[in-house]
C-alpha cells in the first residue's frame, strides 16, 4: 500500500507491534550495484516507514535506485491459557535495512521520510554494510536452530507450574536456567522430597 500523504504527522502512541516483513529463506543477493544501509525509525513504525519509502520512491523518481527493504523478524512462543502460541517479533525494533544506490539526493529523500530519524553511522555519509554484516543480521536465528524462541524469561527461585509431561500441574522453583538450550531445572517436591526436574521453557508457565 502506498501512502499518499508524506507530511510528518505529530508523534503519537506507537501503533500495535507489527509482525514485520518476511525475510527471504536464502542468502540475500548482494551482487548488485546497490549497498545496504540501516535506518533508524520510531519504534513501532517500521512497516509504516517501509511503505512510505516505497511511495516516495515512486513519487520522487528514485524507484530504480531503491532495492529491497527488510525488517528482520524471529518466531517466539508464549503460553496463553495453557496453550503454546507462536508469533513473530522484530529482531531489531526501531531499525530497517534498506538497499540503495546512495547519493546526496537519495540520502535526503530517505532521511526526510516521515518517522525516520536518520541513518545509523557515518553522519552525512553513511557507511554501507558489508555482505557478512547483512547476512549476519538477517540470519541470526539460523545460528541457534529452527525452534522458536521463548518470549518469556525466567529467574532463579521463581515459582512455575509444569504444563507437560509426567509432572503436569506440579509447581516448583526454578533452580537453574540454560538460555542457550531453552531449558530449566525446576525443584519439585515429590513424596516429601525436593527433586530436580529438567524441562524445556515451553513445558512450564509462570504463576501469576
Q: 96: which residues sit within 8 A by CB, 6+ positions away? A: 38, 39, 41, 46, 49, 50, 69, 70, 71
All three cell numbers of 128: 554501507
Say whether both 39 and 140 belong to one domain. yes
Q: Classify residue 191: in a domain, yes or no.
A: yes
Q: 60: which residues sit within 8 A by CB, 6+ positions away? A: 109
Per-residue pLDDT tens digits for 136-160: 776 664 444 455 555 567 888 899 9
pLDDT of residue 207: 81
Average pLDDT, the chain: 77
Say whether both 84 and 177 belong to one domain. no
Count of the separate structural domains present in the chain: 2
Q: Classify residue 12: in a domain, yes or no.
A: no
Q: Classify residue 169: in a domain, yes or no.
A: yes
H-helix or E-strand containing 178? strand 171-178
Residue of higher predicted confidence among 1 and 82: 82
Per-residue pLDDT tens digits for 171-183: 999 998 887 777 8
Domain's final residue, options 149, 169, 188: 149
pLDDT of residue 60: 92
CATH code: domain of residue 168: 2.30.30.30
Say whether both 107 and 56 belong to one domain. yes
Which residues form the domain of 134? Answer: 35-149
CB atoms within 10 A of CB 141: 17
Separation of alpha carbons 76 and 84, rounded Å: 10
Per-residue pLDDT tens digits for 84-128: 677 777 878 888 999 999 988 899 999 999 999 999 876 677 889
Amino acid at each position: 500500500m502506498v501512502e499518499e500523504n508524506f507530511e510528518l504527522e505529530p508523534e503519537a502512541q506507537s501503533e500495535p507491534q507489527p509482525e514485520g516483513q518476511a525475510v527471504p529463506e536464502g542468502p540475500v543477493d548482494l551482487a548488485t550495484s546497490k549497498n545496504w544501509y540501516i535506518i533508524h525509525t520510531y519504534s513501532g513504525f517500521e512497516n509504516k516507514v517501509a511503505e512510505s519509502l516505497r511511495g516516495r520512491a515512486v513519487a520522487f523518481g528514485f524507484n530504480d535506485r531503491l532495492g529491497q527493504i527488510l525488517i528482520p523478524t524471529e518466531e517466539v512462543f508464549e503460553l496463553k491459557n495453557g496453550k503454546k502460541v507462536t508469533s513473530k517479533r522484530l529482531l531489531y525494533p526501531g531499525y530497517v535495512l534498506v538497499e540503495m544506490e546512495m547519493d546526496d539526493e537519495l540520502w535526503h529523500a530517505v532521511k526526510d521520510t516521515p518517522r525516520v530519524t536518520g541513518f545509523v553511522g557515518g553522519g552525512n555519509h553513511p557507511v554501507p554494510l558489508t555482505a557478512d554484516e547483512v547476512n549476519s543480521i538477517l540470519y541470526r536465528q539460523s545460528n541457534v536452530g529452527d525452534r522458536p524462541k521463548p518470549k518469556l524469561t525466567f529467574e532463579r527461585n521463581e515459582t512455575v507450574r509444569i504444563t507437560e509431561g509426567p509432572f503436569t500441574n506440579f509447581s516448583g522453583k526454578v533452580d537453574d536456567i540454560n538460555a542457550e538450550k531453552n531449558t530449566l531445572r525446576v525443584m519439585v517436591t515429590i513424596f516429601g522430597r525436593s527433586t530436580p526436574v529438567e524441562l524445556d521453557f515451553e513445558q512450564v508457565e509462570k504463576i501469576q
